[in-house]
Amino acid sequence: MKHETLTFLQRCMSVEPSPDEVARFEKTLLQWQHANIPGMQRFLGPRLGNSDILLRPVPAPLFSRFEFCAGPPTVRFRTSGTTTGVRGVHSLPDTEAYDLSIRAGVDRLPLSLPLQHTLTLCPHATEFPDSSLAHMIQVLCPDAVPGFSKSGGVNLKLCWDHLKETKEALFLPATALSLATLLETGDHCDLPRGSVVMITGGYKGQHRSIPETGLHQATQKQLGANLFIIREYGMTELSSQLWDWGEGYRAPPWLRVFTKHTDSAGIGQLCFVDLANWGSCMAVETHDLGRVQGDLVELHGRIPGMQARGCSLVAEEAEQ
Amino acid sequence: MNVEAVLEAVEHWARMDGNDWQTGLSPENVRLGQQLAAEAIQNGAFRPLPDAPRHLVIWCASNVFTAPLEWVAQFAAAGSRITLKAPSNCPAPVFAMAEAFSSFEVQAHRAPHDKALSLLEDADAVLGFGSNQAMNVLEAHLRPETARSLHGSRASLAIVEANTIEKVAEGLYLDASAYDSRGCMSPIAVFCLGDAHALKRALFDQWATQDALPLGALSLAEQAHRSRRIGTAKMLHPSNHHAGHRDPREIVVPVEDFESFGLPRLLPIHPIDSLDQLDFLQGGPWSSCATNLPHEALQDFGFHRICQPGQLQRPPLNRLHDGVDVLERLCAKPT
């Protein structure tokens, strides 16, 4: 199944698959996961209906207690280790499809990321080997300069020195709360044309929340008007990401987004079918709210009353 | 005491069309709630209240829309002026109550909590229902001389033996279906001595084939928590998969998976070998317990009421509420 998945993803990079093709692959993968991943069979029951996974995606909190993995895992990504929450674990037989999905997702962006010159305000893989966000940055830009550490949070001096000295277009991936911390110093610079700031993670931490529009305006004001801001949405339990380059979040064709319990305004509980999760769990139900309109996805925050999670909380904890 | 006129008002309220009250319950469940609340008053005996407060404020919660009725009835009969603070998200049943009692001094108010606190200023007594946090806020705003009975979050349980299973299941069906399991008299879990799976099958039959009380609207958070708990149950035991029944309302999960908050129409059944396994329940925020065991066996758990399955949602008039004689407490004269 791994080989078939890699082939499917590679084909998606050159040819947009038809909805029928995607649906056929979903069905094949569902049957395979039901037969080969014990956790999936336990969740879905002994007999598999045609559309079971669409009606019953696996709730993300189950990842904190049960393993969904084809064979012994070689990698375990964990959700943010907040002081209050139990960590969810996404176990994988390997990261080949995961890594391909990351690269293929970035290749689909209508702009080129200057990955060879990266300063990262995200958790770094050396300090956070079980962070899926750190892994993504590591896959995209292995030589990234770490501007964030577990012990000190955002290294403000290092970051501002780096930002002011850079002569080439820069890629600055950051969690929303880390970026806010950087900008709160009031310092500024003018990043070279072609620079890209990637914002990920929630805008609400456990101790503070920041207005999204205000953060974007401050970024343009303090880092230069020539840069481009893109937003990324990912979660530990998925191998694929949504990207927003100014029009709204878009998912790649191998990541289907739908909502459950959708209200009259079209807003409901976000669910994903991620075909790159071939060796774990292809369908995941989140505690996030969203609206799916055509190929655009709007994010509407957490379901009221549900606990916050996400990589921004790591940044917040490091600052405490 | 003007009991006859009060009973007329109770009957009037119980016959009102509550479909537009936005309780979140199905119309069938709204009617059942009206009926249960009215019956308790009609079948109970009113106590004389010579020291009834001149002005009573009742701070109402939204989870059980009928909760104020028994207190309105008794204090209206005793001649108190009653101010009802309606819950912001479900005020209609409270306003309907004021309308039904229009021949008495009963008024309903709707305002956000912070603004409604001014209602307390000239109250001689305050009866409050709501979250623990809301009750703490209320307590902080009361004058020292104001009589009070404030009731925060409580939950009920069922502890049963798996004999006469159909009868137990029939009773638990009513206990868990009324008000869609919201409120302190709904069982949040069943602890079962004996064949828990047989009880589960009997409950399944009740809900799958005899359900006269359709489930009402659920919030997204309730949906998400139900999904998590049902998913967990499926992972733990294959019996929690139902062919053709996609939304199980009864799940069998180990006692270690007990959660101290209830969800609408989701009844976790925890198999136990002996009551000794339930020591962890002692001192919990419990209201009542439904059981078919000898009541003495459950005396140490701190339940304020122990009854047969099917009686949880039929509390008698003049009982102790959360272990408190509410009438006596609210009639207390300042010392």
pLDDT digits (tens, 9 = 90+) for B248-280: 788 899 999 999 888 988 999 999 999 999 999
Distance (Å, whole) CA B236 – CA B232:
6
Rounded average pLDDT over B204-231: 85
Please judge whether A289 and B231 are an interchain contact, meaning their C-beta atoms are less than 8 angstroms apart.
Answer: no
The residue among B228, B230, B242, B261 with the most chain A CBs within 10 A of its CB, best to mutate, is B228
Q: In sequence order, which ranges of chain A are alpha helices (DSSP H)?
A: 2-14, 19-36, 38-44, 52-55, 96-107, 132-140, 156-165, 176-183, 212-223, 312-319
DSSP, res B295: G
Q: How many helices (H) and strands (E) does chain B have?
A: 10, 11
**Candidates A59, A65, A304; nearest CB to B227:** A59
Average pLDDT of chain B is: 90
Q: Which of A233, A251, A199, A235 is nearest to A77 (CA)?
A: A235
Q: Which of B80, B42, B78, B43 is nearest to B58 (CA)?
A: B80
Q: Give the SS3 label for residue B228.
A: helix
User: What pLDDT, on the 0 to 100 scale, is given for residue A81?
Assistant: 57
User: What pLDDT, on the 0 to 100 scale, is given for residue B323?
Assistant: 83
User: What pLDDT, on the 0 to 100 scale, is given for residue B195?
Assistant: 94
Chain A residues within an 8 Å CB radius of B224: 59, 269, 285, 287, 303, 306
Chain A interface with B: residues with Cβ < 8 Å: 39, 42-43, 45-47, 55-56, 58-59, 61-62, 65-66, 260-261, 268-269, 285, 287, 289, 303-306
Residue B233 in contact with residue B225, Cβ under 8 Å?
Answer: no
Which residues of chain A, if any, have pLDDT below 50? 83, 311, 313-315, 318
Sign of torsion over alpha carbons B185, B189, B193, B195: positive
What is the chain A residue with the closest CA to B218? A261
B173's torsion region: left (phi>0), alpha (psi -120 to 50) or beta?
alpha
Q: Which residue has the higher pLDDT, B25 or A86?
A: B25
User: What pLDDT, on the 0 to 100 scale, is given for residue A207?
Assistant: 61
User: What pLDDT, on the 0 to 100 scale, is given for residue A278?
Assistant: 96
pTM value is 0.88
Q: Which residue has the higher pLDDT, A102 or B243?
A: A102
What is the chain B residue with the closest CA to A66? B235
**Candidates B221, B234, B243; nearest CB to A303:** B221
What is the chain B residue with the closest CA to A287? B224
Q: Which of B154, B152, B237, B244 is nearest to B200 (CA)?
A: B237
Please judge whether A305 and B219 are an interchain contact, meaning their C-beta atoms are less than 8 angstroms apart.
Answer: yes
User: What pLDDT, on the 0 to 100 scale, is given for residue B238?
Assistant: 83
Chain A residues within an 8 Å CB radius of B221: 303-306
Rounded average pLDDT over B108-114: 84
User: What pLDDT, on the 0 to 100 scale, is given for residue B271?
Assistant: 97
